Chain A
Amino acid sequence: MSNTELVALLPLISFATVITIVLLAIPFWRNLKGICALSVVGLLISLATILWTTRIVPIQVTPLVLIDQYALLFMTLICLATVAVALLAYDYLKEREGQQEEFYLLLLLAALGAIVLVCSSHFASFLLGLELLGISLYALISFPIRGQATLEAALKYLILSGVASAFLLFGTALIFAALGTLSFNEMVQGFYVDVGSNRLYVMVGSALMLAGICFKLSLVPFHMWTPDVYEGAPAPVTAFVATVSKGAIFAILLRFFIWTDAYQYESILFGLGIIAVLSMLAGNLLALMQSSVKRILAYSSIAHLGYLLVAFIAGRLAGGAALAVEAASYFLVAYFITTLGAFGVVSIMSNGNRERDLDDIASYEGLFSRRPFLATAFTAMLLSLAGIPLTVGFVGKFYIFAAGVQGALASYGWSLLVALIIGSGIGLYYYLRIVFAMTKRPAATDSAATEWITIPVAGGWVMLTLTGTLLALGVYPTPLIELINSMVRSLPL
């Protein structure tokens, strides 16, 4: 391995080093604050190495890993999101009983899995990254020592995620049987055009693989686990599952489709179109009937992944993957900021040694009069999820619409646009329902609703930063757009 290759691997190496240091520090130094600080500093150092690596990309390091601008952009996003989750989790865990330090070890391992995913260019690293992410998440979801709900959520995730991984593995095996390679780069020439009689294997393999991926992205009809896991998992972990885990998997899906030009399989694209429409409609409709904020956000995230698929498909139908990558990347950034913020509020509300997270919509009543800052931040997040102007969510959704409108001219593209519009319309109702609940005066007898919530220092800063970024990128999105554009230009489209 040459020096340049080692430099290119620095983000991964520094991540692994931080994990080792944290692992060695925990037995000698049981101190939640210290371990949290160590992890955050380590994450920031990894972030610095990412910036340093930008000078030498794109570079292929062994057949497994491709470090390019695309990978670095998503790595940055994952690192920042993990910092936010780490800080939120500190407040969430500090008043709980038992030893909590392993949380950071597992969180860093999960983030490493996500980082491996976004830079992998080979099925081996893809599957390893996915499993690293998944296995860390099983433990994270059931992390706090408390009732049955978390265990149920973790068990559900363990079993269903295991089945999805099996689908993914079998699909990969079929593709390998047909093509004789697992490397995305080598599939460039032969993946579609030359498969000939092996076409059936590739088709079935891709379908199985997509079923596995759609499960991990919780798209309808593979979404059953989402609300239960989101509800049972501790709020900071829910934020992580909703953002980092899904974002990384979407990034690798997009990478696979661009590199191998799997877009050429019309029927697979059409199947994804049906999944997108179902996700947008079912996600938004099911959210209407929920009374738990976490479940509402879970269904909303299903719908949002449906919007992402619109960019993914319609951008391509319109004739170029460039628009698809651009729209999906911007939307993902917006989705990361907003979802982290929304679950951050739930996390701050649920601090302390509670049996379960405070996610009943009734306990948010009168939040504006009790904690105006928290309520304002939550309102901003919800409006951004709904796609109201001046928030980053608006620009993200604008991109999706732009891609959708261009795709609407081609074959079935219009149905995606219609579902997108209907879904967004329904979405407004349940987002605003939470906002209205927050403005309402609570009934005096309700103890949960009148309880005083202290805003912790770390969580407070995270929320302030997220809200600030949300507004800044909503009002002046140009720098981010330019960054994403330069990334898109560097891709071999």
Chain B
Amino acid sequence: MELILFYLAAAISLGTTLMAITRTNAAHALIYFIISLLASAVIFFLVGAPFAAVLEVIVYAGAIMVLFVFVIMMLNLGEAGQRQEQAWLSLSAWIVPAILAAILLAEMVLVLSSSETPIPAQSVTPKQVGESLFGPYILAVEIASMLLLAGLVGAYHLGRRYLEETREDEGE
């Protein structure tokens, strides 16, 4: 039972990643990629890491990928953009990801509703994650904060250059 669920989720993950890479349309690729991330979240859940699964959904599938989708959609304003969005809504574009997402949802419902012993025999609780992060791995947290600072400063510097250039162009 557990194995079947795992292989199903793994197959969905692999297949959608492959689709994400081979799509020529960025919006379609992103939809597949989101499904792929959801599938990895289900795998995390099945192997007993519900906290990692939740983070995967919230952070990757939720925040980052939705941001990507919005940015791509906002770059296509105007009438051409509207036609484009019509094309995105064609049945063939969304039906496959929707079915795959439904399968993943069914897996989750099945696991959560099964009355026997919960499928992950032992699971890592958020408390355990927090204890090890702020216990032995405290330095990793500190270094990661520096890592984010580096990303922030770098993005600020490069982004400001772009802003200055567009401002100059508009001035001319």
Which 3 interchain pairs have the tightest Cβ spacing? A139-B154, A109-B150, A128-B143
Name A's B-contacting residues (CB within 8 A): 1, 9, 12, 16, 19, 23, 61-65, 98-99, 102, 105-106, 109-110, 112-113, 116, 124-125, 128-129, 131-132, 135-136, 138-139, 142-143, 145
A265 vs chain B, min Cβ distance (A): 28
| A113 cross-chain contacts in B, Cβ below 8 A | 146-147, 150
Q: Which residue of A lies closest to B157 (CB)?
A: A102
B143 and A116: CB pair below 8 A?
yes
Contact of B150 among A65, A99, A106, A143 (CB under 8 A): A106
| B151 cross-chain contacts in A, Cβ below 8 A | 135
| B153 cross-chain contacts in A, Cβ below 8 A | 23, 102, 105-106, 109, 139
Known: A98-B164, A102-B156, A139-B157. A132 touches B150 (CB 8 A): yes
Q: How many angstroms from the CA of A143 to the CA of B156 in the assembled complex?
A: 11
Q: How many angstroms from the CA of A367 to the CA of B38 in the assembled complex?
A: 62
Residues of B in contact with A, size category? 20 to 34
Among residues 14 to 66 in chain B, which have CB atoms less than 8 Å away from a CB atom of chain A?
none
B150 and A136: CB pair below 8 A?
yes
Q: How many angstroms from the CA of A105 to the CA of B150 in the assembled complex?
A: 8
Among residues 58 to 105 in chain B, which have CB atoms less than 8 Å away from a CB atom of chain A?
none
A139 and B150: CB pair below 8 A?
yes
Q: Which residue of B lies closest to A131 (CB)?
A: B147
Q: Which residue of A lies closest to B147 (CB)?
A: A132
A128 and B149: CB pair below 8 A?
no
- Other 18 A-B pairs with CB < 8 A, given A109-B153, A128-B143: A19-B149, A63-B136, A64-B136, A64-B140, A65-B139, A98-B161, A105-B153, A106-B157, A112-B146, A124-B140, A125-B139, A128-B140, A129-B143, A139-B153, A139-B154, A139-B155, A139-B158, A142-B158
Q: How many angstroms from the CA of A100 to the CA of B139 in the assembled complex?
A: 30
Cβ of B170 under 8 Å from chain A: no
Cβ of B138 under 8 Å from chain A: yes
| B144 cross-chain contacts in A, Cβ below 8 A | 128
Q: How many angstroms from the CA of A23 to the CA of B158 in the assembled complex?
A: 17
Among residues 124 to 172 in chain B, which have CB atoms less than 8 Å away from a CB atom of chain A?
136-140, 142-144, 146-147, 149-151, 153-158, 160-161, 164
Q: Which of B146, B149, B160, B161 has the most CB of A within 10 A?
A: B146
B150 and A135: CB pair below 8 A?
yes
Q: How many angstroms from the CA of A16 to the CA of B150 in the assembled complex?
A: 12
Known: A132-B146, A135-B151, A136-B150. A125 touches B140 (CB 8 A): yes
| B154 cross-chain contacts in A, Cβ below 8 A | 106, 135-136, 138-139
A316 vs chain B, min Cβ distance (A): 31
Known: A102-B153, A106-B153, A106-B154. A125 touches B143 (CB 8 A): yes
Q: How many angstroms from the CA of A136 to the CA of B149 in the assembled complex?
A: 9
| B155 cross-chain contacts in A, Cβ below 8 A | 139
Q: How many angstroms from the CA of A50 to the CA of B50 in the assembled complex?
A: 42
Q: How many angstroms from the CA of A63 to the CA of B135 in the assembled complex?
A: 10
29 contacts between A and B (CB under 8 A): A19-B149, A61-B139, A62-B138, A64-B140, A98-B161, A98-B164, A99-B160, A105-B153, A106-B153, A109-B149, A109-B150, A110-B150, A112-B146, A124-B137, A125-B140, A125-B143, A132-B146, A132-B147, A135-B147, A135-B150, A135-B154, A136-B150, A136-B154, A138-B154, A139-B153, A139-B155, A139-B158, A145-B161, A145-B164
A143 and B157: CB pair below 8 A?
yes
Q: How many angstroms from the CA of A86 to the CA of B165 in the assembled complex?
A: 27
| B156 cross-chain contacts in A, Cβ below 8 A | 102
Q: Which residue of B lies closest to A139 (CB)?
A: B154
| A138 cross-chain contacts in B, Cβ below 8 A | 154
A156 vs chain B, min Cβ distance (A): 15
Q: How many angstroms from the CA of A33 to the CA of B153 in the assembled complex?
A: 20
Q: How many angstroms from the CA of A99 to the CA of B163 in the assembled complex?
A: 13
Q: How many angstroms from the CA of A12 to the CA of B142 in the assembled complex?
A: 11
| A109 cross-chain contacts in B, Cβ below 8 A | 146, 149-150, 153
Q: Which residue of B lies closest to A101 (CB)?
A: B157
| A145 cross-chain contacts in B, Cβ below 8 A | 161, 164
Q: How many angstroms from the CA of A110 to the CA of B138 in the assembled complex?
A: 20
| A143 cross-chain contacts in B, Cβ below 8 A | 157
Q: How many angstroms from the CA of A263 to the CA of B135 in the assembled complex?
A: 33
| A102 cross-chain contacts in B, Cβ below 8 A | 153, 156-157
B146 and A19: CB pair below 8 A?
yes
Known: A109-B150, A112-B146. A62 touches B158 (CB 8 A): no
Q: How many angstroms from the CA of A99 to the CA of B140 in the assembled complex?
A: 32
Contact of A64 among B137, B149, B150, B160 (CB under 8 A): B137
Q: Which of B154, B156, B161 has the most CB of A within 10 A?
A: B154
Q: How many angstroms from the CA of A410 to the CA of B160 in the assembled complex?
A: 57
Q: Which of B144, B155, B157 has the most CB of A within 10 A?
A: B157
B133 vs chain A, min Cβ distance (A): 11
